[in-house]
């Protein structure tokens, strides 16, 4: 009983921390609590119905009610609501655009004598269209170019040539794209933590961080530069390993790989920074 109580208290503290961070975003975007509450109820019922059915049995309103703590009437109301509009295939768009940028900075055919990304013609041998074909499969080159230009990753030099402006797909000015990343990346991190809670003793997924509590602010610019450079290098190495094993396009064709089980997989790295806690507030390291 004592262990169960401590686990419950730890869960409450963890959820409170997650919600504080999330609510900062929601309040800045003017989302009311009632809107959040409706989303939370719908998500609770959706997960309960789709992922927590008893083995061999169909999900029921009664079981969703028990799991969620909502009344059967409320569960029925939520299930009767129109399904949310399908989200734009932003995950695929993000992945394809990122792969094109990675190819541009590491594929020798698109580098100059100094090993830097070349200015590319739109068409022709070793042009942008060839870059997209090689690193993003069947995506139209113009669609990829428009997307990369929209997020500030490429620049037009004239009507026939483009230049790389940023080495990573990071939307510079669009709140819409950054909120899309919030939904996908935070969900992926929570999914990893959930997996490790359940299976960490025998099938742990990598999840680590390095953190110190009292680094002088004057040292932070150097660490930001160092961490960005080394993290980008690691991600590019991981990308190379995954890219040669990715069979998305082959699986769409009549290829034998279409029958091979596939999983979406990746590795995420992020930098964080916050005020140092006072000795009375922070934990000793």
* DSSP annotation string for 146-198: HHHHHTTSEEEEETTEEEE--SS---SS-HHHHHHHHHHHHHHHHHHHHHHHH
**Which one has a higher pLDDT value, 264 or 218?**
218
Rounded CA separation 164/118 (Å): 8
Residues 65 and 130 in one domain: no
Rounded CA separation 75/65 (Å): 6
Position 190 in a domain: no
Average pLDDT over the chain, rounded to an integer: 84
Q: Residue 183: what pLDDT?
A: 83
Read off the pLDDT band of 282 (50, 70, 90). Answer: very low
Q: Which of 45, 65, 85 is the last residue of a domain?
A: 85
Position 203 in a domain: no
Given a contact cutoff of 8 angstroms between Cβ atoms, the answer to whether 145 and 109 are in contact is no
Q: Residue 132: what pLDDT?
A: 92
Residues 77 and 13 in one domain: yes
Position 234 in a domain: yes
Q: Which of 85, 116, 147 is the last residue of a domain?
A: 85
**Which one has a higher pLDDT value, 257 or 234?**
234
Q: 3-state class of 236 per DSSP?
A: helix
Tell me the residue range of the domain where 223 lies: 208-285
Residues 45 and 77 in one domain: yes
Residues 78 and 95 in one domain: no
Position 265 in a domain: yes
72-101 residue pLDDT tens: 999 999 999 987 654 444 455 566 788 898
Please tell me the pTM assigned to this model.
Answer: 0.66
Q: Report how many domains make up the chain.
A: 3
Position 198 in a domain: no
Q: Residue 284: what pLDDT?
A: 41
Q: Residue 281: what pLDDT?
A: 46
Q: Which of 85, 113, 142 is the last residue of a domain?
A: 85
Given a contact cutoff of 8 angstroms between Cβ atoms, the answer to whether 45 and 68 are in contact is yes
């Amino acid at each position: 009983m004592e262990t169960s109580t401590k686990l419950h208290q730890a869960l409450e503290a963890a959820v409170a921390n997650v919600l504080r961070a999330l609510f900062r975003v929601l309040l800045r975007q003017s989302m009311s609590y009632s809107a959040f509450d409706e989303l939370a109820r719908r998500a609770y019922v959706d997960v309960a119905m789709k992922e927590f059915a008893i083995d061999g049995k169909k999900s029921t309103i009664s079981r969703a009610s028990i799991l969620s703590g909502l009344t059967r009437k409320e569960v029925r109301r939520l299930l009767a609501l129109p399904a949310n509009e399908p989200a734009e295939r932003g995950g695929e768009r993000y992945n394809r655009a990122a792969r094109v940028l990675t190819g541009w900075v590491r594929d020798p055919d698109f580098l100059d004598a100094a090993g830097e990304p070349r200015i590319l013609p739109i068409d022709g041998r070793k042009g942008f269209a060839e870059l997209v074909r090689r690193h993003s499969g069947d995506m139209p080159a113009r669609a990829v170019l428009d997307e990369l230009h929209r997020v500030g990753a490429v620049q037009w030099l004239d009507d026939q040539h483009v230049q790389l402006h940023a080495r990573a797909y990071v939307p510079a000015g669009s709140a819409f794209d950054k909120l899309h990343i919030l939904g996908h990346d935070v969900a992926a991190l929570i999914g990893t933590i959930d997996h490790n809670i359940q299976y960490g003793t025998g099938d742990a997924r990598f999840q680590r961080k390095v953190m110190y509590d009292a680094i002088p602010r004057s040292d932070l610019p150097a660490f930001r530069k160092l961490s960005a450079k080394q993290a980008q290098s690691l991600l590019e190495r991981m990308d190379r390993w995954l890219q040669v094993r990715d069979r998305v396009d082959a699986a769409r064709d009549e290829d034998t790989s279409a029958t091979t089980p596939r999983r979406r997989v990746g590795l995420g790295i992020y930098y964080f920074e916050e005020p140092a806690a006072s000795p009375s507030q922070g934990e000793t390291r």
